[in-house]
């Protein structure tokens, strides 16, 4: 039974097409590499009701992990924690551990001469105002702490939206949990490329190879123009060790390559075609 | 009342962190520029049940438009139409108009000598197998037609996942509908940059400016490192004409710049700071 994750990205900038969602890519890739199955990514705007609805819906699907990113900062439109509190029907309260983290940040800024006063103004206290029974997660590179809340069997975690902060909190506080949950399963992948063959001609060859290769998933991605087909064939599998993964993927690659060449196609293997974890 | 859109992206490659979701960015940007409000982006894998669930949930929120992308091709894991059919409780059937579009494509390929036979094999017929009462949308640059289905007040449209095909179908078949639905409202945006000031100090200044500027939305995006704050301030508004938008945004930019400089910050205006539609 796979360990599942959902990602919720909060931010109007993602919905107006201003910002490319590189955070979702990064988290999905990192979690997948640890054997976690990302089932859904949801993007909502900076609205309490939207965030609450997305959180409630994700919780109902009972993934082991729900990770939100964005909306933890000091401005009026940083509403993720308010949304989560609403979803869980919990009050927001100043969390003393979080307040200590925030205070220490501003004290350090003052020492460096970057700010004149360390006063914990309302926008600063806001970053330490968490849903009841939440645990703050240290933000090594920014001010707003991450937040962890256990809800039944789900770890619900809220991370900052600034990529460097999101990645740092993820590595420090989430990766250890993912490793523990994912067991020792790892994700392996590689790609080869087929030319001179249309995707509709490839389709039955892929079917046949997947039928013969247990645990190997093959997906075709057309990369060329319509009148010059160039198709990436992406092979992936999860395994406990690199040898089983390589044996399994290697066998499937050989079979599909032979089928393609028999049907008049051309297979190319690029540097990218190394099997990687 | 705003005209709302949801986007559903289908593809395991998005959930394993293989592919950056540039399709969502492109569609969100294009729709926003036409005055449409994108409320949610959902990413699910190549599974009938996941696609059906995301479609049912989006329909329940009653946006005017739901656009899916990905999963229309000839391979076994192109399951979007099966998912939509399940969501709507409709049968899948070979659509004669769609079959004609697909046949003409393969006839053209044969003429160009790219394929030897124009036979409509099952993977090819699959691309013309649509939910009942669906209308195919011409794919100017690829083979799989897009699909349009009207469900109560919602236009549900399925587009190919290959970016050039998605964009071409969107421009040809969807933009005219969006223009009609959006009225003459357009989206305008611009950014300025604040240095030497932390986001928590900026927060109340943004609040004050937004309070004084009807219809202007301001969002801060930290871009620098923690010990060297560099914050983008993104201003946006929707308006019927460029003059109102520019007046409104200009006034807000002047007010916020003055507040920032009064508080010891530095405002910079870059080329990017032109107000654009």
pLDDT digits (tens, 9 = 90+) for A172-203: 999 999 999 987 788 999 999 999 898 999 99
pLDDT of residue A109: 86
Final residue before a domain boundary, out of A159, A182, A205: A182
Contacts of B143 in chain A (CB under 8 A): 200, 226
Q: How far is CA B93 from CA A200, B69, B113, B132, in A?
A: 19, 20, 30, 6
Q: Are B226 and A20 inside 8 Å of each other by CB?
A: no
| A195/B152 Cα distance (integer angstroms) | 44
Same domain, A157 and A36: yes
When divided into structural domains, chain A yields a total of: 2
Same domain, B154 and B191: no
pLDDT of residue B116: 74
For A202-256, the pLDDT digits (tens) are: 999 999 999 999 899 999 999 877 667 899 999 999 998 999 999 999 999 999 9
Contacts of B112 in chain A (CB under 8 A): 227
Is the confidence at residue A277, as pLDDT, over 80? no
Q: Are B74 and A203 inside 8 Å of each other by CB?
A: yes
Q: Are A74 and B225 inside 8 Å of each other by CB?
A: no
A&B contacts, CB < 8 Å: 204
Q: What is the mean pLDDT of residues B245-265?
A: 95
Q: What is the mean pLDDT of residues B119-126?
A: 94
B129: which strand partners? B94
For A129-176, the pLDDT digits (tens) are: 999 999 999 999 999 999 999 999 999 999 999 999 999 999 999 999
Same domain, A142 and A201: no
CA B31 to chain centre: 6
Quote the DSSP letter at residue B111. Answer: H
A116 contacts B197 by C-beta, under 8 angstroms: no
pLDDT of residue A111: 87
Same domain, B166 and B103: yes
B195: which strand partners? B230, B266
**What domain range includes position A54?**
4-182
| B173/B137 Cα distance (integer angstroms) | 7
pLDDT tier for residue B66 given thresholds of 50, 70 and 90: very high
pLDDT of residue B166: 97
Least CB–CB distance from A112: residue in B16, B28, B227 = B227
Alpha-carbon gap: B259 to the closest alpha carbon of chain A (Å):
16
Q: Is B67 left (phi over 0), alpha (psi -120 to 50) or beta?
A: beta
Quote the longest CA-to-CA distance of chain A.
74
- For CA atoms B124, B126, B132, B138, give the dihedral sign: negative
pLDDT of residue A272: 59
Alpha-carbon gap: B162 to the closest alpha carbon of chain A (Å):
7
Q: What is the mean pLDDT of residues A30-58?
A: 97
Q: Are B32 and A21 inside 8 Å of each other by CB?
A: no
Reported pTM = 0.93
Is the confidence at residue B199, as pLDDT, over 80? yes
Contacts of A38 in chain B (CB under 8 A): 15-17
Q: Out of B110-124, B213-227, B240-254, give the one with best mean pLDDT.
A: B240-254
Q: Are B234 and A43 inside 8 Å of each other by CB?
A: no
B10 contacts B51 by C-beta, under 8 angstroms: yes
Q: What is the mean pLDDT of residues B5-21?
A: 97
**Any idea which residue has 């240095």 for tokens?**
B195
End-to-end CA distance of chain A: 20
Q: Which 3-state string (H, E, C) describes B180-207?
A: HHHCCCEEEEEEEEEECCCHHHHHHHHH
Q: What is the mean pLDDT of residues A97-123?
A: 89
Closest CA to A27 of A152, A148, A201, A158: A158
Structure tokens at A199: 């995707």
Q: What's the whole-number average pLDDT of chain A?
A: 93
Quote the DSSP letter at residue B33. Answer: H
A234: which strand partners? A191, A219
Least CB–CB distance from A17: residue in B28, B44, B109 = B28
Q: How far is CA A16 from CA A69, A145, A239, B24, B165, in A?
A: 17, 27, 39, 10, 21
Closest CA to A3 of A168, A159, A246, A177: A177
pLDDT tier for residue B111 given thresholds of 50, 70 and 90: confident
Alpha-carbon gap: A54 to the closest alpha carbon of chain B (Å):
10
The percentage of chain A sitting over the pLDDT mark of 90, rounded to a whole number, equals 84
Least CB–CB distance from A42: residue in B37, B42, B112 = B42
Q: What's the whole-number average pLDDT of chain B?
A: 93
Least CB–CB distance from A25: residue in B20, B37, B114 = B20
HSE-up of residue A215 (Cα within 13 Å, Cβ side)? 17
pLDDT of residue A271: 61
Q: Which 3-state string (H, E, C) describes chain A?
A: CCCEEEEEEECHHHHCCCCCCHHHHHHHHHHHHCCCEEEEEEEECCCHHHHHHHHHHHHHCCCCEEEEECCCCCCCCCCHHHHHHHHHCCCEEECHHHHHHHHHHHHHHHHCCCCCCCCCCHHHHHCCEEECCCEEECCCCCCCCEEEEEECCEEEEEECCCHHHHHHHHHHHHHHHHHHHHCCCEEEEEEEEEECCCHHHHHHHHHHHHHHCCCCEEEEEECCECCECEEEEEEEEEECCHHHHHHHHHHHHHHHHHHHHHCCCEEECCHHHCCEC
Residue A263, domain CATH: 3.30.70.1130
- For CA atoms B9, B11, B15, B21, give the dihedral sign: negative
> What is the enclosing helix (H) or strand (E) of B100?
helix B96-111
Residues A54/B148/A206/B107 CA torsion (nearest 10 deg)? -160
Q: Is A24 left (phi over 0), alpha (psi -120 to 50) or beta?
A: alpha
Same domain, A35 and A166: yes
Same domain, A96 and A132: yes
Final residue before a domain boundary, out of B182, B209, B236: B182
pLDDT of residue A21: 98
The percentage of chain B sitting over the pLDDT mark of 70, rounded to a whole number, equals 97
Is the confidence at residue B182, as pLDDT, over 90? no
pLDDT of residue A207: 94
Same domain, A150 and A67: yes
Q: Are A21 and B25 inside 8 Å of each other by CB?
A: yes
* Cα–Cα–Cα angle for B207, A103, A165, rounded to 5 degrees: 75
Residues listed for chain B: 277
Q: How many CB atoms lie within 10 A of CB A172?
A: 14
Is the confidence at residue B6, as pLDDT, over 90? yes
B42 contacts B23 by C-beta, under 8 angstroms: no
Residue of B5, B7, B17, B51 to mutate, testing the A interface (most A Cβ within 10 Å of its Cβ): B17
Is the confidence at residue A91, as pLDDT, over 70? yes
Is the confidence at residue B251, as pLDDT, over 80? yes
Closest CA to A217 of A241, A196, A194, A191: A191
Final residue before a domain boundary, out of B167, B182, B197: B182
Is the confidence at residue B226, as pLDDT, over 90? no
The percentage of chain A sitting over the pLDDT mark of 70, rounded to a whole number, equals 96
pLDDT of residue B269: 85
pLDDT of residue A132: 97
> What is the enclosing helix (H) or strand (E) of B29?
helix B22-33
Same domain, A43 and A147: yes
Q: Are B28 and A21 inside 8 Å of each other by CB?
A: no
Q: What is the mean pLDDT of residues A79-95?
A: 98
Contacts of A40 in chain B (CB under 8 A): 15, 42-44, 50, 54
Contacts of A32 in chain B (CB under 8 A): 15-17
pLDDT of residue A227: 64
Same domain, B8 and B130: yes
A21 contacts A76 by C-beta, under 8 angstroms: no
Same domain, A83 and A143: yes
- ipTM score of complex: 0.93
Same domain, B170 and B191: no
Same domain, B196 and B216: yes
Residue B95, domain CATH: 3.40.980.10
CA B184 to chain centre: 19
Residue of B2, B5, B7, B15 to mutate, testing the A interface (most A Cβ within 10 Å of its Cβ): B15
């Amino acid at each position: 039974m796979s360990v599942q994750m959902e990602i919720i990205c909060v931010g109007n900038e993602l919905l107006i097409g201003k910002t490319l969602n590189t955070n979702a890519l990064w988290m999905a890739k990192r979690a997948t590499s640890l054997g976690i199955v990302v089932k859904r990514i949801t993007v909502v705007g900076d609205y309490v009701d939207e965030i609450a609805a997305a959180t409630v819906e994700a919780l109902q699907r009972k993934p082991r992990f729900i990770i939100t990113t964005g909306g933890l900062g000091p401005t009026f439109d940083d509403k993720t924690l308010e949304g989560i509190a609403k979803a869980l029907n919990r009050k927001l309260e100043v969390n003393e551990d979080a307040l200590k983290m925030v205070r220490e940040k501003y004290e350090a800024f003052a020492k460096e001469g970057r700010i004149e006063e360390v006063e914990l103004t309302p926008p600063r206290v806001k970053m330490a105002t968490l849903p009841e029974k939440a645990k703050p997660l240290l933000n090594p590179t920014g001010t707003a702490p991450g937040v962890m809340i256990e809800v039944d069997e789900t770890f619900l975690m809220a991370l900052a939206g600034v990529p460097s902060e999101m990645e740092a909190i993820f590595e420090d506080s989430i990766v250890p949990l993912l490793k523990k949950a994912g067991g020792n399963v790892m994700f392996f992948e590689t790609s080869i490329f087929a030319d001179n063959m249309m995707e509709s001609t490839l389709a039955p060859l892929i079917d046949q190879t997947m039928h013969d290769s247990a645990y190997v998933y093959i997906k075709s991605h057309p990369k060329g123009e319509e009148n010059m087909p160039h198709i990436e064939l992406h092979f992936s599998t999860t395994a406990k060790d690199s040898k089983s993964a390589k044996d399994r993927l290697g066998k499937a690659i050989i079979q599909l390559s032979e089928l393609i060449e028999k049907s008049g196609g051309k297979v190319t293997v690029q540097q990218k075609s190394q099997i990687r974890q």
